[in-house]
Amino acid sequence: MKTIAVLTAMPQELDAVLKIFNFANPEKVELFGMSVYISVHNGIKFILALSGVGRANTAMNTALIAREFKPDEIINVGSAGGLQNEQKILDIVIPSEIVAVDVDLTALGCEYGQMLGDQKSYFADTKIQEKLINSGKDLATVHTGTIGSSEAFICHEEQVQNIRNRFNNSVVCVEMEAFSIAVVCKRFNIPFAIIRSLSDVPAHGEGNEHDFNAFLDKASDNAAKLLYRYAQ
């Protein structure tokens, strides 16, 4: 049986997935303090985990999931902030490239986003990404391209401009976990993809933190709907 691990950062995102799949009595386990739900849908075994916010939590918990359950693929589902002017709240992003927008070792000869001795970006599995894109065509406007992970919530014009300047305006949206998932999946050789629905659009100007609070639940529902379609 195929096994898909679904990682979410926040309870709202996990609750949206559990609600739309409506699993019958999923098994719940605690894995070193991480809540994990296990169930089967449409012949697929799902491992649903609340992996936490930020790169440290996400890296640790993604590695735990990979080691404990050995999934065939990992999909990260959640919300993000849009970094392109034409975007709107509840648009969907299914990125091909993942970068760390706040990593700066350029003084040591690295490119922006690159750690010493490591690559500057990672790439989602093209087959999973293509199926996700096809699954989301009539759900919302779908954007592809580059997603940027940061340890900061992006809500100031200076932050937006720094990211645009460093990455040639290629970053489509910003969030806090995708880069860690990409790094771990490469180490474990697990295909992965990212689903993000926009809860806010910092590209439109400051104050998007208010939109984040207002639209987090709807964005979580939107991302969960796309995952559900993918699983059919």
User: Catalytic site residues?
Assistant: 13, 200
Coil, helix or strand at residue 112: coil
- Taking alpha carbons only, the member of 48, 55, 64, 68 closest to residue 122 is 55
Is residue 76 within 8 Å of 177, Cβ to Cβ? yes
Distance CA 87, CA 66 (A): 33
Distance CA 116, CA 110 (A): 7
Query: For residue 42, what are the CA distances in angstroms to 24, 134, 145?
Result: 13, 19, 30
Is residue 202 within 8 Å of 190, Cβ to Cβ? no
Is residue 207 within 8 Å of 160, Cβ to Cβ? no
